[in-house]
């Protein structure tokens, strides 16, 4: 328990340091470029308001996910032995919802805590960023079925390769 508290304290200190560095850099840049102050303030406020609206819903969903989806289920479908089925499920899970990418990060962290394979997490996040069902329909309308199908197929293949590659690289670096 003490080890967990120490780790949490370290993470809190790290977060505070990163926030302080960000504030300092922002202050320096705004001092150097005072004409950008209004744009930075407006954009920051808009982003803050967006976060206030979206994050409570994300937290509720994360709480439901934590309670309703067991570790065994995640390990079975997205864990080390999930293989190609895990990759395909990760693509579907990433492509189905709409919303900004930052919503996917807490979900990915929850999946990792429950035993999802790293490659499946990378595939999930990449699919969230690159493959959206409404986006595919717009693509179909403007670029036609050939373009949409080719881009979708290449995205799926490359996202899967990237996930597997990243998992192997990180495992190799962890061994060293």
Judged against a pLDDT cut of 90, whether residue 62 lies above it is answered with no
**Does residue 59 or residue 108 have the better pLDDT?**
108
Q: Is residue 53 part of a domain?
A: no
Q: Is residue 57 part of a domain?
A: no
Q: Is residue 107 part of a domain?
A: yes
Residue 83, domain extent: 69-176
* pLDDT tens digits, one per residue of 21-51: 999 999 999 999 999 999 999 999 998 898 8
Dihedral angle of Cα 17, 20, 24, 29, to the nearest 10 degrees: 100
C-beta separation of 164 from 124 below 8 A: no
Q: pTM for this one?
A: 0.77
Q: Is residue 157 part of a domain?
A: yes
pLDDT of the residue at 51: 85
* pLDDT tens digits, one per residue of 130-164: 998 888 899 999 999 999 999 999 999 999 999 99
pLDDT of the residue at 55: 81
* pLDDT tens digits, one per residue of 85-137: 999 999 999 998 878 888 899 899 999 999 999 999 999 999 999 998 888 89
Q: Is residue 21 part of a domain?
A: no
pLDDT of the residue at 176: 75
Number of domains in the chain: 1
Q: Is residue 119 part of a domain?
A: yes
Q: What string of DSSP letters covers the chain?
A: -HHHHHHHHHHHHHHHHHHHHHHHHHHHHHHH-GGGHHHHHHHHHHHHHHHHHHHHHHHHHHHHHHHHS-HHHHHHHHSTT-HHHHHHHHHHHHHS--S-GGGHHHHHHHHHHTT--HHHHHHHHHHHHH--HHHHHHHHHHHHHHHHHHHHHHHHHHHHHHHHHHHHHHHHHHH-
């Amino acid at each position: 328990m003490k080890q967990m508290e120490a780790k949490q304290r370290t993470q809190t200190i790290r977060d505070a340091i990163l926030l302080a560095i960000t504030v300092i850099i922002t202050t320096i840049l705004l001092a150097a470029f005072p004409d950008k102050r209004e744009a930075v303030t407006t954009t920051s406020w808009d982003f803050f308001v967006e976060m206030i609206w979206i994050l409570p819903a994300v937290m509720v969903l994360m709480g439901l996910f934590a309670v309703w989806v067991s570790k065994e289920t995640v390990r079975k479908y997205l864990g080390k032995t999930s293989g190609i089925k895990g990759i395909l499920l990760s693509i579907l899970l990433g492509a189905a919802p709409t919303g900004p990418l930052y919503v996917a990060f807490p979900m990915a962290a929850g999946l990792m805590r429950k035993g999802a394979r790293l490659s499946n997490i990378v595939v999930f996040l990449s699919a969230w960023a690159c493959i959206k069902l409404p986006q595919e329909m717009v693509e179909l309308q403007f670029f036609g079925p050939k373009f949409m199908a080719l881009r979708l197929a290449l995205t799926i293949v490359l996202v899967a390769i990237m996930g597997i590659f990243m998992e192997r690289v990180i495992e190799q670096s962890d061994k060293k």
